[in-house]
Structure 1
Amino acid sequence: MRELEPAPATAQTVAWPPPVKGPARGLFAGQVAIVTGSESGIGRETARALCQQGVAVVLNGRHAQRLAQTLREFELAGFAVTSSLTDVTDYAACEELVAVAVQTFGRLDILVTNASISQRAYFADMHPDVFRQVLDSNVYGTVYPLKAALPHLTRTRGSVTFISSISALNGMPSGSAYCAGKAAVANLSHTLRLELAHTGIHFGVVHIGFTQNDPDKRVLDAAGQPVPIAHRPPRWQKSQAEVAAIILTHIRRRRQRTIISALGRLIVLVHTYLPRLGDWIVLTTTRRLRHFYE
């Protein structure tokens, strides 16, 4: 994994609630959230939607320039926001990330683990280090922020939302490490919901479907090089804002599982009751629509 820039020093403690220029009311007014991977894409729009509902948000990412740009945009909108340049696959860095939230805003109520790396490579061709990098980003990039945040979320009986994918519901060629990581996240959510039921913390998972991407969105190829994401028909895609709105509803209703898109729900139905048909469909599309996977 490439060397990352160090996380900035944590902000000084300020009184809660912090002064805000924008609306002080909303569905989650007075609450504090961390959204990992919120410098861009779905994470950024989820953070924006939370801010619009009165939440103070800690933005997170690994690219300093992109994170700073999102932070400036949110500050100009009058949101209560700060940021942490953090690699969420580093546990010590995740402790710093949580410290930013608590020291700046005084508490932590919501954690959305969105940060992850995806791939566009067949298993037989993948370098083992690339497989590990994708898996680490999805699994440890979820486990470490939660582990660091758990005492604070217990105190507030807060909410944890793991961002998974419809790829976790049924295997997808050219996505072995990503599918495995997202499936692990879904199972982790179920396990923790049982194991930590006494804490009152909400544990839920959202399975994201095909979503419009930022123009510079990249995934890893078999050698670990960034490449554009595989083709997705525009008519199958939801906007990032639509996905963010669904995630907020999931958090507000403290749902256990949310599957975004009719395709995702169809995958669950077929995988559960007609698994051989599901495999036939995937294998057929792999032969006839290779650009869909490659």
Structure 2
Amino acid sequence: MKYFSGKVVLITGSSRGIGKVTALRFLKSGAKVVLNGRSFESLNETQMEFRQLGFDPLASVGDVNDPEFCNTLIQRTVSHFGRLDILINNAGGGFRGRVDETSPQVFQEVVNANLMSAVYCTHAALPEIKKTKGSIVFISSLAGIRGLPNNGPYCVAKMGLTAFVETLRLELYNTGVHIGILYVGFTNYDGKKRITNADGTLVPISRRSHHTREQVAEIILHTIRKRKRIVYLTLPGKLLVFLNRFFPGPLEWILVRSTKSKFMK
């Protein structure tokens, strides 16, 4: 797509999963991509894989939960490519567990990983995004629409993203900056993906997916090209929005009685 040719795209959490597939899709569209992840091994493996395909992304290892690293990440991006057009706040991790079984430390870690990382990166990137009148996109989930059982800290973080996005839109109303948020459903993850349990341990994911990583990547690019504000993925996601708006009581009854609700993410 000519729209992305030459544009500089930074994707947090892009050493694997949705972020990795989205990065490759941007590269194939002619964009210049900055990869990010906490694991040197995973990030290096992804960078080498892309180079073998004929692309040359920049890779920056570090934790976006650290505001100082976020500043360094933006500075390195601009120093290397000369600008920043698109920031995709994708980094984060899933969670499963009851609130009364989750320690305050684990609760804080989940919120930081899924909310504050996006806040820090966005804050660092705003001056450059304003210059290019570019896009900042947040990858949220169905947990950002309504509080769900066994997802307390994750819901707090993802619903916090919604509030953050709404605030940014108001504050950046006449700047030409595009702010978008995608509410993603269950996605087919690679076998290495883990989520945080109530005790802080990492456990495998076991669930049926609603869509593939490739489908999500295509929707992300479409959201940016069309400068869409809000995108709800999957029928369950759209149904959750409808029920929460018009039938909150019956929806709550359903969720209380089923901790394995198909709406949960």
Q: CA deviation at 1:292?
A: 9.5
Equivalent-residue separation in structure 2 for 1:284 and 1:127 (angstroms):
24
Equivalent-residue separation in structure 1 for 2:227 and 2:208 (angstroms):
31
Equivalent-residue separation in structure 1 for 2:27 and 2:165 (angstroms):
25
Partner of 1:146: 122
Partner of 2:164: 188
Q: Is it true that 1:232 corresponds to 2:204 in the alignment?
A: no
- Corresponding letter in the other structure for 2:256: L
After TM superposition, the structure 1 = structure 2 runs for residues 34-73 of structure 1, keeping only pairs within 5 Å, are 34-73=10-49
Q: Deviations over 1:101-140 (max 9, x none)?
A: 1111111000000001221111100011000000011111
Unaligned runs of 5+ in 2: none
Give the structure-2-normalised TM-score. 0.96
Partner of 2:92: 116
Contact 2:255/2:261 (CA < 8 Å) preserved in 1?
no
Distance 1:165 1:292, change over 3 A: closer
Distance 1:242 1:292, change over 3 A: closer
Q: CA deviation at 1:290?
A: 8.3
Equivalent-residue separation in structure 2 for 1:242 and 1:109 (angstroms):
22
Q: Is it true that 1:92 corresponds to 2:37 in the alignment?
A: no
Q: CA deviation at 1:291?
A: 11
Equivalent-residue separation in structure 2 for 1:194 and 1:292 (angstroms):
30
Unaligned runs of 5+ in 1: 1-24
Q: CA deviation at 1:285?
A: 2.0
3-state SS in 2 of match to 1:215 = coil
Partner of 1:29: 5
Q: Is it true that 1:280 corresponds to 2:216 in the alignment?
A: no
Contact 1:58/1:100 (CA < 8 Å) preserved in 2?
no
More displaced, 55-64 or 73-82? 73-82
Q: CA deviation at 1:191?
A: 1.1
Give RMSD over aligned pairs: 1.7
3-state SS in 1 of match to 2:35 = strand
Q: CA deviation at 1:26?
A: 3.3
Using the aligned pairs only, state the percent identity.
39
Q: Is it true that 1:255 corresponds to 2:228 in the alignment?
A: yes
Equivalent-residue separation in structure 2 for 1:283 and 1:232 (angstroms):
20
Equivalent-residue separation in structure 2 for 1:100 and 1:50 (angstroms):
19
Q: Is it true that 1:264 corresponds to 2:240 in the alignment?
A: no
Q: CA deviation at 1:284?
A: 2.4
Equivalent-residue separation in structure 2 for 1:79 and 1:260 (angstroms):
29
More displaced, 181-190 or 261-270? 181-190
Equivalent-residue separation in structure 2 for 1:291 and 1:274 (angstroms):
17
Q: CA deviation at 1:270?
A: 0.2
Equivalent-residue separation in structure 1 for 2:5 and 2:262 (angstroms):
45
3-state SS in 2 of match to 1:285 = coil
Q: Deviations over 1:70-92 (max 9, x none)?
A: 00111111224111001101111
Q: Indicate which of 142, 159, 169 corresponds to 1:166.
A: 142
- Corresponding letter in the other structure for 1:211: T
* Residue-pair matches, total: 265
Contact 1:164/1:205 (CA < 8 Å) preserved in 2?
yes
Distance 1:180 1:283, change over 3 A: same
Distance 1:253 1:291, change over 3 A: closer
Partner of 1:16: none
